[in-house]
Amino acid sequence: MKGIVVYDTYFGNTKAVAEAIVEQIKADGHEAELRSVREDYPSPPQGDFMFVGSPNRMGGVSGRTKRYVKRLDTAVWKGKPIAVFATVAPPPKGEPTEKQKASYEKWALRAAPKLRDLAKSRGLMAVDAVLAVPVVDQKGPLAEDGVQKTKQFAHEFLVALKK
In the prediction, which pLDDT does 2 show?
98
Query: What does residue 105 show for φ and ψ, rounded to 5 degrees?
Result: -65, -40
Residue 108 predicted with pLDDT over 80: no
pTM to 2 decimals?
A: 0.94
pLDDT at 65: 97
Which tens digits make up the pLDDT trace of 91-102?
A: 778 888 899 888
Model pLDDT for residues 146-156, shown as the tens digit of each residue: 999 999 999 99
Return the SS3 of 141: coil
What is the per-residue DSSP string for 73-127?
-HHHHTTSEEEEEEEEPPPPSSS--HHHHHHHHHHTSSHHHHHHHHHHHTT-EEE
Reported as type and span, the H/E element at residue 132 is strand 125-134
Q: Are strands 125-134 and 60-61 parallel, antiparallel or unpaired?
A: unpaired
Determine the structural domain holding residue 94 and report its residue range. 2-162
Q: What is the predicted pLDDT for the residue at 19?
A: 98
- Please tell me the distance from the alpha carbon of residue 7 to that of residue 20, in angstroms, as a whole number: 12
How much is the mean pLDDT over the chain?
A: 94
Domain tally for the chain? 1
CATH of the domain at 65: 3.40.50.360
- 143 three-state secondary structure: coil
Choose among 50, 76, 65: nearest CA to 114. 65
Letter string b/e over residues 68-85, b meaning 16 or more CB atoms within 10 A of that residue's CB: bbeebeeeebeeebbbbb
